[in-house]
Amino acid sequence: MDSLTDALTTNPYPGRGVLWCRTGDGSTLGAYFLTGRSPASQARTLHRTPAGELIVAPSDTRHHDHLRHYVAARQSQDWLVFGNGEQVSAVADRLASGQPPALALDGLDYEPDPPIFTPRLTVIADNRETGRAWFGAARRSSGKRTATDRLTLHIGDPAPGEGVLMTTYRSDGQQIATGAPFTEVHTGAHTPGDLMEELWSALPAQLRIAAAVFAPGGLTTADIRS
């Protein structure tokens, strides 16, 4: 099992990422982060709305792009949903209509942004049962197929220090490819604040845009850094 720090520092361009873990003090936490290379990607903010959602928005509100700007985290009494695109709202609406997590994550597609075709990554956390979460990834085949590969991963209650990470990209510093389906990681963080420090310091400084750490049902008190 890689440390969270190693998993990120050995990946020069992780893109966007989702994390579900438990810190040493017993806190079960989600995290979302953004890195970007282009000026348009860098010109974004992550902030909380009056309704308690976390949104990725353009620094200049005249320049909306549905692939770059979206609700990144949304919660209800029962569920927390977070991820890297407009599918977050769609999944949250499906859960609100009574669909179970596996069905709410079904039918999603990767982003139409050739040549890399960015995966759509989504996490659903159960606010009623501590530690349970479902990861969904809609990915383009690594071969010639254009049909979407859909991965659903059900995570049981992690032990302190355990976590699961998904990133949109992996890079060797030269080439960029779709990220691994998922990576099991270990965090040395004892508190939510420690987790933010570990996550933020591991992201490439010249590419990082923003990160948020939050507990299920706790978006209104999310720790946001940019």
What are the backbone dihedrals phi and psi of residue 152, each rounded to the nearest 5 degrees, phi first? -125, 125
pLDDT in tens, 21-62: 999 999 999 999 999 998 988 889 999 998 899 999 887 766
CA atoms of 199 and 25, how far apart (whole Å): 17
Residue 184: per-residue pLDDT: 97
Going by the DSSP 8-state scheme, the letter that residue 180 receives in this structure is P
Residue 64: per-residue pLDDT: 66
pLDDT in tens, 67-103: 678 999 999 999 999 999 999 999 999 999 999 999 9
Does pLDDT of 104 surpass 90? yes
Angle at 29 between CA 26 and CA 33, to 5 degrees: 145
CATH topology of domain 2-225: Glutamine Phosphoribosylpyrophosphate, subunit 1, domain 1 (3.60.20)
Going by the DSSP 8-state scheme, the letter that residue 6 receives in this structure is H
| Structure-block tokens of residue 136 | 């969904």
| Structure-block tokens of residue 11 | 């990946």
Helix (H, G, I), strand (E, B) or coil at 208: strand
What are the backbone dihedrals phi and psi of residue 190, each rounded to the nearest 5 degrees, phi first? -95, -30
Residue 219 carries which side chain, given as an amino acid letter?
Answer: L
pLDDT in tens, 142-159: 888 889 999 999 998 899
pLDDT in tens, 150-184: 999 999 889 999 999 999 999 998 899 999 999 99
Distance of CA 48 to CAs 111, 138, 182, Å?
24, 26, 27
CA atoms of 175 and 108, how far apart (whole Å): 26
